[in-house]
A and B are shown apart, each in its own frame.
Chain A
Amino acid sequence: MPCMPGIGKKSGCDEMNDVAIVGIGCTPVGEPWNKSLREIAVESTWAAMNDAGVNEVDGLVVGNMSSGNFVDQESLGSLIADYAGLGNITAFKVEGACGSGGVAFRTGVMAVASGMHDVVCVTGVEKMTDVVGDSATKILANASDREYEAVHGVTFVGLNAMVMRRYMHDYNARREDICSIPVNSHKNAVHNKNAMFRREISLDSVINSPMVADPLSLMECAPICDGAASIILTTRERAKEFTDTPIIVKGSAVKVDTIGVHDRKNVTSMTATVEAAKEAYNMAKLTPKDMDTAELHDAFSIMGVIGLEDLGFVRHGKGAHFAAEGQIGIGGKLPCCTYGGLKARGHPVGATGVYQILELTKNLRGEGVVDAQNGIAQNIGGTGSTVSVTILGRDI
């Protein structure tokens, strides 16, 4: 792997380790009332370790948005390492709101690429269903600017709704085209045994579902749920010790933007996605045309549309039409959200970015639903305030 742009180069490093994915595991997404945060986190951690055939790792990076608010528990590095029986290893939690999973993955990649760790587990986990009533809405709004957005009673859905209304205004986009994003995700979840909603939905049912924050309706928004997903990383050199089908991390980038949507020059495009994608494509020496599949952050229908544009697949303003044409379906030009996306697989916020990478890995290993050489995943924290973009490819 070439040096990461920026800091790495400035510090004079020449070469870093290439990083490979050698194990994956997760729990089914849903509302497991009989299982706690630590139980699902340990279950997915060991599922990934079993997949890699290891019984120890020397680092654990936990991606989690808000365990302190959802289950009154912090110190997740210790908690999960302890209950997974991993001993006195290096373990800590990293946070980037709903993008925490992608940020944790990037942290794991840095640990292995730098040579400071050999075998690292990245576990994304969120237990959201232990709170009741309007509490989850309040906690999710912590992803925005509490003092200047959330304090006004603007929910997280509300912020995305304002982005959607402006998008429709600026590009004359049709709501029914934008609504094809959740229809596609639901269709792809049917075959995924770990998905929360394994059923198709019609375009009409999306369009006619009740408004949550106009113009965003209930069926355009990802559900509140629980889940944990894990990835085992090591160097490309060592990968064959663990698996015949290592998947290579070709590009990895995390970029931030203003915390408030009101401070963006343009609210209908996410600069953090554009910048992260640029860096990830450069690292991978690949372009959007080389991507065979994409995991978009479709927490809200409009986010899927804007993701298609910001990742370079279509011009700005053309994403909704591209989706409505069926180009994002399995068998289409660019299969997206192939395991149900955030909408239908589910969106256990801090775990989502890791689920995406797990699903991309399945497709690249040849055990998935699309035949892919290279693929990309985009994980968004807040309304575009933290975005990670990951490009994976086969080891050829």
Chain B
Amino acid sequence: MSVPRHWRESKRRYRLLGTKCKSCKKLHYPPRTVCSSCKSRDLEEYQFKGKGNIYSYTIIRNPPEGYTFCRPYAAALVELEEGEIVTAQITDCDLDHLEIGMPVEVVIRKLFAYGESGIIVYGYKFRPILPRK
């Protein structure tokens, strides 16, 4: 268990903070130091809005070590409004009623814990945006 390993990711993981290429305007999430489109190394931070749609999804029934506390859970490729796709869990949802195209928004949740007395790692998940009543 290493605290710095998770601490250094916290801004990106709590805030969905990515990068934007100053030269070709390409957005990246996860953040990069070299633009995946034009190889420019002149990038700036970019705050994603945190809304998008489910591009594809699955229900994880056999979780890896450390993730069994919330089994089964949904995971998805979420296509953000800005066009980038991120991998995350879908939370606060009915596992039987997920579908491709469903609108979702970002929230912060517990991702996993290192045992009972270890550190708890938090990060983004997405939840369905419910229609307003």
Contacts and interface: CB of A to CB of B under 8 A. Distances in A.
Interface stretch (A8-16, A19-27, A159-167, A313-321): A159-167
A166 B100 contact: yes
B116 interface: no
Interface residues of A, number: 38
Question: Could you say which of B61, B66, B88 has the most chain A C-beta atoms within 10 Å of its C-beta?
Answer: B61
B46 interface: no
Contacts of B65: 133-135, 137-138
Contact of B77 (A150, A162, A214): A162
B77 to A, nearest CB: 6
Interface stretch (A99-107, A185-193, A260-268, A366-374): A260-268
A149 interface: yes
A307 B56 CA distance: 20
Contacts of A149: 87
Interface in A102-120: none
A152 interface: yes
A272 to B, nearest CB: 15
Given A151-B121, A166-B55, A137 B64 contact: yes
Contacts of A1: none
B33 interface: no
A218 to B, nearest CB: 9
B106 interface: no
Contacts of A210: 61
Contacts of B70: 153
Most buried by A among B62, B66, B111: B62
Interface string A319-352: 0000000000000000000000000000000000
B58 interface: yes
Nearest to B71: A153
Interface of B: 9, 13, 30, 36, 55-68, 70, 73, 75-77, 84-89, 100, 111-112, 121, 123, 125
Given A134-B65, A145-B87, A155-B63, 11 more contacts: A137-B64, A141-B64, A151-B13, A152-B125, A153-B111, A157-B62, A158-B58, A212-B61, A212-B62, A216-B58, A263-B36
Interface of A: 133-135, 137-138, 141, 145, 147-155, 157-159, 161-163, 165-166, 169, 210-216, 258, 260-263, 267
The 8 A-B residue pairs with the shortest CB-CB distance in the complex, in nearest-first order? A161-B58, A153-B67, A166-B56, A138-B64, A162-B56, A262-B85, A137-B64, A134-B65
